[in-house]
Structure 1
Amino acid sequence: MTAQFTILGGGVCGLATAAELSSRGARINVIDPKGAPGRHACSWWAGGMLAPDCEGVSAEPAVVKQGRRAARWWEKHGANVTRKGTMIVALGRDQADLATFARRAPAARKLDKDEATSLEPRVAEKMSSALFIEEEAHLDPRTALLELHTKLARDGVNFDGPLEGQIVDCRGLSARDALPDLRGVKGEMLVVRCPDFSLSRPLRLLHPRFPLYIVPRADNVFMLGATQIENGERDRATLRSVMELMNAAYALHPAFGEAELLEVGVDARPAFPDNQPRIRHMDDRIFANGLFRHGFLLAPALARMTADLLLDGKEPEVWYEDHR
């Protein structure tokens, strides 16, 4: 008999879980009252960086270990993944932060001026040194979400079906009605077009207040993000945050002073107290939630472990709680 599941939530967690279960032969309904991926989902505002070693500077080892499988998973499921690594830089006054980052990220290799110039000439114009993590990758999150949604529908996943079978709750912050320890961590981002600047890979600019990252998209479009604000209003960007993002980008390179501001985005990411995700078995429902700022990086691992639990009875190696 074919296993039947209903997944609540059509963001990155819900779609990844649907893909993992569907690829193993299960019948899937996905229910999201707001429909296909769009501005309503916090994953719509993500950077799309698949950068486990960078995240490991402040995250737990499990984030690094599980995140290293993400790029291959997204490629397997049809996403266009760019594997050009991550460059990390700091302005002159913050060079000590670059040395600290290098100690905490063993995979980071120090670049001299010539090496940095060969990778990112426009960045190297103002930087005396940089770090490079070669194995990291990135994708365009909006394209990846929409293409995964289309692929799932083509493969027989039902997005209009009834509530049938085992329920898997991937509703993000909407699941706070059942998960009282879930909180929202607001992030703000900008999308700009800067014809006079070029970038081939994500760039992290170390900053004393928040880490700025710049992710290249097509046609000289760049995503700049992101703030990290506890208990912030998820639908309101602040002037201070937007100005800080702009000022940091301008400090990186003056070409951003003439950039066209295309979009200001804001939403809150679901997080548990330790900022690690959870698979929770409560009564007759499975919850997969709490991806924090690691949505595209950790959704594949969370989906895989959820499918292992549901289809094979295999208890996940991390992030599992049984509250029955």
Structure 2
Amino acid sequence: MLIADDMHTLTPRSSITILGAGLLGRLLATSLARQGHRVTVHEAGGPDGEGSAGRVAAAMVAPLAESIVAEPNLVRMGQYALTRWPQLIAPLPAPVFWQQNGTLIVWHRQDAPEAARLRATFEHTRGAVAGLPAMQPLDAAGVAAAEPALAGRFSQGLLLPGEGQIDNRQLYAALLQDMQAHGVALHWHSAHTPEDFQPGQAGQPDWVLDCRGLGARGQWQGLRGIRGEVVRVHAPEVTLARPTRLVHPRYALYVAPKQDHHFVIGATEIETDDLSPMSVRSALELLSALYTVHSGFAEARITELSTQCRPTLADNQPAIRLLAPRVLQLNGLYRHGFMLAPAVHDAALELLAQGSSPLARQFDMHLQGLTP
């Protein structure tokens, strides 16, 4: 078992190899390159990030809404992300859509009991996590005022103020440009494992950071895939100001509006690492539920049906561990990638810079072989 004494720290102009160019890999590559380090990235896929769960996600940063499946420490990481994402986006060389208009939750009358259960969960979370804004119960007029497009469609709703979302496709592209601008050596279709390197030895990197997600299953026992399925549509007849979630007894549909009337719709969460195309049943359920949110979606054009598996550890929590001297692994963002990535990214930078992380301690982040 490794202990904290095995943890070295970065020196000026350290050589760092990052495995995986998904969300965490790109964020760390740009941050470390901006600090003046020599960064090399190896990615099994291509520059678009087609193998990354973060590319398929709706990219919502909704700590209270996600508390139905997230522990309080993850909710606190989500609060932190609401502040950090604008800071992380600001220096990028291309614009990235960021919106912080809150989350709207609506339901049909027959689903009022499930909505009451969700509201009780949110109230419990607000009691356990300081600083969460009070949710706002809405009647029919309130729903119409918050989302004019939904006027007359729902008699009740909840507004969760301050929650956000990001355009993940724009983010991936902007991070790619930033890596290129800062001289990161990029190797696409180049699958590697930590065992391929001997960090600290002559001719080898000083550090290896393993950010491969499910690609690390051979090194991380218990890592599994949770399949998610999303539909992307272009609906010029529909305008929504914020992500909207539809309460349903079997699934909680989300509709995340992006720029220019593009929408990301999802709900499914299946315990499997199957990456086959979306089933007819899933597509029909998602699209049928979408139509009940707004009939204008009937004329939307389907631009993409996507599936991906989220890397998930046994306890559904993120973790950072010292696999070997100078080899750091980061994994387990599960369905909360854009909520958790800023905190995990910042904790990793603290560990690399000083050998410990006050931020990880603040968020009860799982560290293995490391000192918080």
What residue is the counterpart of 2:58 in the other structure? Answer: 47
What residue is the counterpart of 2:314 in the other structure? Answer: 273
What residue is the counterpart of 2:352 in the other structure? Answer: 310
> Residue 52 of structure 1: SS of its match in structure 2?
coil
What residue is the counterpart of 1:62 in the other structure? Answer: 73
Displacement of 1:150 in angstroms is 0.9
Displacement of 1:260 in angstroms is 1.6
Q: 1:72 aligns with which of 63, 83, 93?
A: 83
1:6 aligns with 2:17: yes
State TM-score, norm by structure 1.
0.94
**Structure 2 counterparts to residues 50-199 of structure 1, below 5 A:** 50-78=61-89, 79-105=96-122, 106=126, 107-160=134-187, 164-199=205-240
Displacement of 1:223 in angstroms is 0.8
Segment drifting more, 135-144 vs 150-159: 150-159
**Structure 2 counterparts to residues 28-39 of structure 1, below 5 A:** 28-39=39-50
Q: 1:298 aligns with which of 340, 356, 360?
A: 340
Partner Cα distance (2:345, 2:108) in 1: 38
Partner Cα distance (1:163, 1:173) in 2: 25
Q: What amino acid does structure 2 have at the position aligned with 1:112?
A: D
Segment drifting more, 17-26 vs 171-180: 17-26
Displacement of 1:236 in angstroms is 2.4
Displacement of 1:163 in angstroms is 6.0
Instruction: Mark the runs of 5 or more structure 2 residues left unpaired by the alignment.
Output: 1-11, 90-95, 127-133, 189-202
Partner Cα distance (1:25, 1:304) in 2: 17
Partner Cα distance (2:46, 2:206) in 1: 21
Q: What amino acid does structure 1 have at the position aligned with 2:149?
A: R
Segment drifting more, 112-121 vs 86-95: 112-121
Q: What amino acid does structure 2 have at the position aligned with 1:301?
A: A
Partner Cα distance (1:260, 1:192) in 2: 5
What residue is the counterpart of 1:26 in the other structure? Answer: 37
Partner Cα distance (2:208, 2:169) in 1: 26
Displacement of 1:3 in angstroms is 2.6
Partner Cα distance (1:91, 1:137) in 2: 24
Partner Cα distance (1:72, 1:4) in 2: 30
> Residue 50 of structure 2: SS of its match in structure 1?
coil
What residue is the counterpart of 2:253 in the other structure? Answer: 212
Partner Cα distance (2:214, 2:232) in 1: 24
1:134–1:177 CA distance, 2 compared to 1 (3 A): same
Contact 1:47-1:141 within 8 A present in 2 as well? yes
Segment drifting more, 299-308 vs 248-257: 248-257
1:104-134 CA-to-partner distances (Å, cap 9, x unmatched) read 2243221222222112012232111110111
Contact 1:185-1:270 within 8 A present in 2 as well? yes
Q: What amino acid does structure 2 have at the position aligned with 1:247?
A: S
1:227–1:163 CA distance, 2 compared to 1 (3 A): farther
Contact 1:83-1:138 within 8 A present in 2 as well? yes
Contact 1:185-1:228 within 8 A present in 2 as well? yes
Partner Cα distance (2:120, 2:225) in 1: 30
Instruction: Mark the runs of 5 or more structure 1 residues left unpaired by the alignment.
Output: none
> Residue 56 of structure 1: SS of its match in structure 2?
helix
Q: What amino acid does structure 1 have at the position aligned with 2:173?
A: L
**Structure 2 counterparts to residues 245-284 of structure 1, below 5 A:** 245-284=286-325
1:203–1:163 CA distance, 2 compared to 1 (3 A): farther
> Residue 219 of structure 1: SS of its match in structure 2?
helix
Q: What amino acid does structure 1 have at the position aligned with 2:182?
A: D
Segment drifting more, 249-258 vs 127-136: 249-258
1:231-254 CA-to-partner distances (Å, cap 9, x unmatched) read 141132111111110111112222
Contact 1:71-1:81 within 8 A present in 2 as well? no
Larger Cα Rg: Structure 1 or Structure 2?
A: 2
What residue is the counterpart of 2:4 in the other structure? Answer: none
1:257–1:160 CA distance, 2 compared to 1 (3 A): closer
1:180–1:223 CA distance, 2 compared to 1 (3 A): same
What root-mean-square deviation, in Å, do the aligned CA atoms of Structure 1 and Structure 2 show? 2.0
1:224–1:179 CA distance, 2 compared to 1 (3 A): same
Displacement of 1:25 in angstroms is 4.0
